[in-house]
Amino acid sequence: MGMNVGSSGGEDEVVSAINTTPLVDVMLVLLIIFLITVPVVTQSVTLSLPKETNVIRQTKPENIELAVTKDGDVYWNTALIKSNDDLKDRLRGIARMEPQPEVHIRGDEKTRYEAVGKVIFACQQIGILKLSFVTEPPARGG
């Protein structure tokens, strides 16, 4: 009782099917490597980051608007401030008021940090208690 398996051709017949076993082995090894390395890559220092808050601005006539242009020019409402000493003199006047008015700083998006920092530092030196920044609200849905 004999059984003939395969075709009647010779043993040197070419197999045209792709052997996927080595490919699956390589993919499993890569998967294991990624599963081991991903937790190492995502480690970072634990921080409590500030949350975004959006406070509606209450525009009052006594509030002071300071605008800083992209060239570093400072405007008190709509009047150009010529020097840092002039700004400090004006701030001294409002620092003595009771209650002290709020100072709102509006900085152009292309303004150097240094120009806005000088305005903040002047407010701090004079003793302004309430200082806030005016920004554009984020786009809806984004």
Using one digit for the tens of pLDDT, what is the confidence trace for 91-131?
Answer: 998 888 888 888 988 888 888 889 999 999 999 999 998 88
> Counting every residue, how long is the chain?
142
Look at residue 40 and tell me if it is in a domain.
no
Total structural domains within the chain: 1
| Burial class of residue 118 (count of CB atoms within 10 Å of its CB; 0-12, 13-18, 19+) | middle
Which structural domain, as residue segments, surrounds residue 74? 64-133
pTM: 0.57
> In degrees rounded to 5, what are phi and psi of residue 134?
-100, 125
pLDDT digits (tens, 9 = 90+) for 20-55: 888 999 999 999 998 888 776 666 666 666 666 666
Tokens of 125: 């030196």
Look at residue 24 and tell me if it is in a domain.
no
Domain of residue 70, CATH code: 3.30.420.270
Look at residue 76 and tell me if it is in a domain.
yes
Look at residue 75 and tell me if it is in a domain.
yes
Look at residue 112 and tell me if it is in a domain.
yes
